[in-house]
A = this chain, B = another copy of it.
Amino acid sequence: MGTPLPRDPIADAQRNWERHGWGDVAAPMAAITAIMRTQQILLARIETVLKPFGLTFARYELLALLSFARSGALPMNKASALLQVHPTSVTNAVDRLEKAALVVRSPHPTDGRTTLIELTADGRTLAKKATAALNAEVFGKSGFGDDDVDHLIRVLGTFRRDAGDFTEE
C-alpha cells in the first residue's frame, strides 16, 4: 500500500480523540481500530500465500473445515454456522470451489432442503498443501510472542463469547 508512515496513524487518532474531549473512549477506539488494521494486514499475508494455490481465505476456510469433518462433508447451513458467515457467502464460496472441482454438492439423504458439500480428492490434497503453506508462512511467523498469543486467545475468546458467538467455556 506504500511506504511506512513516519508516525503511527492510530496513535495519532487516539491523541485527536483525547484532544477533542473524548478521552474516556480514546483507548478503546484505538484498540478497536488496531484490530481492524491488524486483520487487514493478516488477511493480505494469508491471501498472498494462498494465491499460488488458486484459493482465497474464504475458500480455504471452507476447505479446511471440510477436511476436519469425519466424512469430508457438511451441510451448507452447518458450514455457515461454523465459519460464522452469512449463508450466501457459503453459496458463493461453494460455487467457486465446485467450479474448481475441489468440492461437490450433493443432496442430503433425508432432508430435501439441505445440500451437502463434499470434499473431492483434489480438494483434500489442496487443503493439506495450503495448510502446510499457511502454517509455515503465516501462523509460524505471526510475529506475536507466545505470551501475547495466549493473551489474545483469552481476551478475544471472552469478547466473542460475550458477543454471542458461542455459549460454553
Interface residues of A (CB under 8 A from B): 1-2, 4-11, 13-14, 16, 22, 24-25, 27-32, 34-43, 64, 68, 80-86, 131, 134-135, 138-140, 142-144, 146, 148-153, 155-169
Q: How many copies does the complex hold?
A: 2
Minimum distance in angstroms from A160 CB to a CB of chain B: 6
Interface of A is mostly: helix
Q: How far is the CB of A70 from chain B (nearest CB, A)?
A: 12
B38 lies within 8 A of A42 (CB): no
A21: min CB distance to chain B, Å: 10
> In angstroms, how far is the closest chain B Cβ from the Cβ of A62?
13
CA distance A23 to B162 in the complex (A): 27
Do residues B4 and A149 form an inter-chain contact, with CB atoms below 8 A? no
**Complex Cα gap A134–B105 (Å):** 42
On whether A37 and B152 interact (CB within 8 A), knowing A27-B146, A32-B139, A42-B32, the answer reads: no
Given contacts A32-B42, A148-B155, 11 further A-B contacts (CB under 8 A): A1-B80, A6-B167, A9-B82, A30-B153, A32-B138, A34-B157, A35-B35, A36-B39, A36-B43, A37-B165, A151-B151
